[in-house]
Amino acid sequence: MRVYHVNPVNDPGMGEGGKSDTLTTYRNRHNAGETIKVYRAAHGVKAAEWAMNNYSSIDGYYIPWASWDDFKLGSLDPNYCSKFIWQAFYYGNNKTDYIIGYYTDTKEAYVTPLQVIQSSDLTLAGSFSSR
């Protein structure tokens, strides 16, 4: 019952990068009253296992928006939130891209949050408000 993710916020003693949060800690990262949506995935079990086994390898948070540095989807560190989700599904499911459909780990590209939630592999299971 943990949330594995990549976050730019420096927590006391934890630094930025990969996180393993309880649901309460994850909720507290969001603004009061913010809605958090929960998605279920057809291929989510192996993705979750991959995320659990790899989040601690990420020490830095970086989105290469201004140049093509570190754009390859295969690089684990540094990382960012939606890229980490793509990697979990890709590597957790024998290098099959269930999120976008045609990306590979050598592709130079962004993975956006919108691409993740629009994946045909995901369905909205519900939502809740933070704090």
Domain hosting 33: range is 2-129
Number of domain units in the chain: 1
State how far Cα 74 lies from the chain centre. Answer: 14
Estimate the crossing angle of helix 44-54 against helix 81-92, to 10 degrees: 120
Residue 52 in contact with residue 88, Cβ under 8 Å?
no
Q: Is the Cβ–Cβ distance between 26 and 11 less than 8 Å?
A: no
Taking only the tens of pLDDT, the chain with its 131 residues reads 899 999 887 666 566 889 999 998 888 888 888 999 999 999 999 999 999 999 999 988 888 776 666 678 999 988 999 999 999 999 999 999 999 999 999 998 889 999 999 999 999 999 988 87
Q: Which long-range contacts (CB under 8 A, 24 or more apart) does 113-118 make?
A: 113/81, 113/82, 115/82, 115/86, 116/82, 116/85, 116/86, 117/37, 117/39
